[in-house]
Structure 1
Amino acid sequence: MTAHEVYKSGGERDAYIQRNADRHRVVNSEDRMQDETGKRELWPAIANGVRCRCPRCGIGRLYRAYLKIADVCPHCGLELGNARADDLPAYIAITIVGHILVVGLFEFQAGAAGIPPWVYLLGMCFAAIALPLVLLPSIKGAVVGLQFANRMHGF
């Protein structure tokens, strides 16, 4: 019989968790006791990620190359290699750039811009290629910061 089966009501289950709190502790890389369920600051971690810095200390570099996350933060020693941003940064970048390009398309069709079509097409093609490449490192850093703050994927 498991603890979950024995303590089905909320109050009894909370009492069980309080009595066994030491089992729910881990030691981080700095050998300090840290609660697994403790909250980390969300917005500072995301802001550090947007600046392409370590989500914990904000000083060490997040990337070792363009979009290649460093294995370990050189300043605080946080293991960054477990971060898995996958496709979310690309989806966010496509959404942002798509909205920018659609606004440009509306401006062009309304005739308010007063530019020749070939100049518009050249500018939009350049923007469609350059903007995602510029935005992706910061967006991916924000996703890594979000993962760090929520203790996802090995953080």
Structure 2
Amino acid sequence: MTEPAATPEHPRLSSLSTGLRCRCPRCGDGPLLRGFLTIRDECPACGLDYSFADPADGPAFFVMSGIGIVVMMIFLVIEIAYRPSILFHLLVTLPVLVAGCLATLRPVKGWLVSEQWVHRAEEARWASTGKHGEGRRWR
């Protein structure tokens, strides 16, 4: 089974490397995103059509879960050890949570799009095997 990146013009690249750098999963040169989170229509360097890319809410879920767990563990340690006021948490904990999510959202989205291309992910196609009850006669 050949990988989609294994063409003579474009050697297979690491999906982690190209994804975290938000680069084209095929050539590794062209930018994947336009603006902060908008996926381009195609790669300006190699012309790869990005219409296959649909990470949906996956990046947001993984980032919120990962950063939320880490920051909340730190929050809990600080809360138990020092008992700071609520103002401390509003001025420190909340901005750290938001900054952590915003800083990691873009690379995670790039990585998920790169993984979709490498593994040829696509929307599921369903085929009917017949109508309910077909093939038997109820008596």
Higher RCO structure, 1 or 2 (CA under 8 Å, sep 6+): 2
Tell me how large the CA RMSD over aligned residues is. Answer: 2.3
Matched residue, 2:134: none
What percent identity do the matched residue pairs reach? 30
Structure richer in strand, relative to its length? 1
Matches within 5 A, 1:1-155: 37-39=1-3, 44-111=14-81, 116-153=85-122
- Calculate the TM-score normalised by the size of structure 2: 0.73
User: How many Å separate the matches in 2 of 1:43 and 1:103?
Assistant: 35
Contact 2:31 2:44 survives alignment (8 Å): yes
Cα offset for 1:103? Answer: 1.8
Identify unmatched segments of 5+ residues in structure 1.
1-36
Residue segments in structure 2 that go unaligned for 5+ positions in a row: 6-11, 124-139
Q: Retained in 2: the 8 A contact 1:45–1:56?
A: no
Task: Tell me the number of residue pairs that the alignment of Structure 1 and Structure 2 aligns.
Answer: 117
Q: TM-score, normalised by structure 1?
A: 0.66
Report the 3-state secondary structure (helix = DSSP H, G, I; strand = E; otherwise coil) of the residue aligned with 1:130: helix
Whole-Å separation in 2 of the counterparts to 1:131 and 1:81? 29
More helix by share: 1
Q: Which runs of at least 4 in structure 1 moved beyond 6 Å after TM superposition?
A: none
